Amino acid sequence: MFWQQLVNGLTLGSTYSLVALGYTLIMGVLDIVNMAHGEIFMFGAFTGLILASHFHVNIFVAMLGAALVGSLLGIILERVALRPLRRRAVSHLAPLISTIGVSIFLESVALKVFGPESQAFPQTLAGKIYTIGPMQISLVQVVILAVAFGLMLILRFWLARTKIGKALRATAESTETAGILGVNTNLIIVLTVSLASGLGAIAGVLVGLTFNAVEPTMGMSMGLKGLAVLILGGMGNITGAMFGGLILGVAEVFSVAYGASSYRDAVAFGMIILILFVRPQGLFGAKDQTGGR
Partner 1 sequence: MLKINSLVTSYGSIKALKGIDLEVPAGSIVSLIGANGAGKTTAMKSLVGIIKPQSGTIVFQGQAIQGWPSHKVVGLGVSLVPEGRRILARMSVLENLEMGAYQRQDMEIQADMEKVFSRFPILAERRNQLGGTLSGGQQQMLAIGRALMARPKLLLLDEPSMGLAPLVVAEIFRVIQDINREGTTVLLVEQNVRQALKIAHYAYVLETGKIVLHGTAEEVAHNPRVMEAYLGGAKGMK
CB 61 within 8 A of CB 52: no
Q: Does 239 bind partner 1 (CB under 8 A)?
A: no
For residue 196, give the nearest of 101, 65, 75 by alpha carbon: 75
At closest approach, how far in Å is the CB of 82 from partner 1? 17
SS3 content of the chain, % helix, strand, coil (to 5): 75, 5, 20
Note whether 244 and 161 are within 8 A (CB).
Answer: no
What is the Cα–Cα distance from 231 to 124, expressed in whole angstroms?
Answer: 37
Non-local (6+) Cβ contacts of 92 within 8 A are: 31, 32
User: To the nearest whole angstrom, how small is the minimum distance from the Cβ of residue 78 to partner 1?
Assistant: 17
Q: How far is the CB of 159 from partner 1 (least distance, A)?
A: 11
Nearer to partner 1, 31 or 122 (CB): 31
CB 14 within 8 A of CB 246: yes
User: 3-class SS at 291?
Assistant: coil
Least separation in angstroms between residue 284's CB and partner 1 is 12
Residue 169 C-beta: closest distance to partner 1, Å: 6
Interacting residues with partner 1 between 155 and 174 (CB under 8 A): 163, 166-167, 169-170, 173-174
Identify which of residues 160 and 260 has a Cβ nearer to partner 1 in the complex: 160
- Contacts (CB under 8 A) with partner 1, residues 173-192: 173-174, 176-186
Interacting residue ranges for partner 1, rule: CB under 8 A? 163, 166-167, 169-170, 173-174, 176-186, 289-293
